[in-house]
Structure 1
Amino acid sequence: MPDNLTQSPNFSAIDFLRTRSLANVVQAEIERMIVDGELKPNERVNENGLSQQLGVSRGPIREACSALAAMGLIEIIPNRGFFIRALSNDEAQDLSEARAAVFGCMAMMLAERVTDAQIAILRALLQRMDEIVELGDYHVYYPVNLEFHKQIGEMAGNNRLHLIYQSFVRELHIQRYRALASQDVLKISNAEHREIVDALESRDPIRALTAGRAHILNGIVRTRNAGRPGETAASAPSKPARKSRTAPNATGKS
Structure 2
Amino acid sequence: MAPRQTDRVPRTASIVPLVRYEIERLIGCGELVGGARINESALALRLGISRGPIREACRELANTGLLQAELNRGFFVHEVNTKQALDIYDLRASLFGMAGKLAARVIDARQLSALAAQVEAMAQAIAAHDLATYYPLNVAFHQSLIEAADNYKLAQLWPLLEAELHLFRRRGLVQGGSMETSNEEHQALWEALRAGDDALAGRLAERHILAGKGRFLRSLD
**TM-score interval for Structure 1 and Structure 2 normalised by the shorter chain:** 0.7 to 0.9
TM-score (norm 1): 0.70
State the partner residue of 2:180.
187
Alignment of 1:63 with 2:61, yes or no, is: no
2:33·2:167 contact (CA, 8 Å) conserved in 1?
Answer: no
Structure 2's unaligned 5+ residue stretches are 1-10
Structure with higher helix content:
2
For 2:171 and 2:199, locate their aligned partners in 1 and report how far apart those are by CA, in whole Å.
30
For 2:110 and 2:50, locate their aligned partners in 1 and report how far apart those are by CA, in whole Å.
47
Greater gyration radius: 1
Alignment of 1:199 with 2:192, yes or no, is: yes
For 1:198 and 1:52, locate their aligned partners in 2 and report how far apart those are by CA, in whole Å.
44
Identical aligned residues as a percent: 36
TM-score (norm 2): 0.79
State the partner residue of 2:71.
78
Shift of 1:208: 1.2
Change (3 A) 1:42 1:121: closer
Shift of 1:133: 2.2
1:136·1:186 contact (CA, 8 Å) conserved in 2?
Answer: no
The count of aligned residue pairs is: 211
Task: Give the SS at the match of 1:132.
Answer: helix
State the partner residue of 2:5.
none
State the partner residue of 1:88.
81
Pairs within 5 Å for 1:119-134: 119-134=112-127
1:106·1:153 contact (CA, 8 Å) conserved in 2?
Answer: yes
Alignment of 1:173 with 2:192, yes or no, is: no
1:103·1:153 contact (CA, 8 Å) conserved in 2?
Answer: yes
Shift of 1:24: 4.5
Aligned partner of 1:101: which letter?
S
RMSD, matched Cα: 2.9
Deviations for 1:151-182, whole angstroms, at most 9, x for unmatched residues? 21111121221221122122222222332222
State the partner residue of 2:4.
none
For 2:109 and 2:213, locate their aligned partners in 1 and report how far apart those are by CA, in whole Å.
31
Task: Give the SS at the match of 1:86.
Answer: coil
State the partner residue of 1:111.
104
State the partner residue of 2:90.
97
Change (3 A) 1:124 1:56: closer
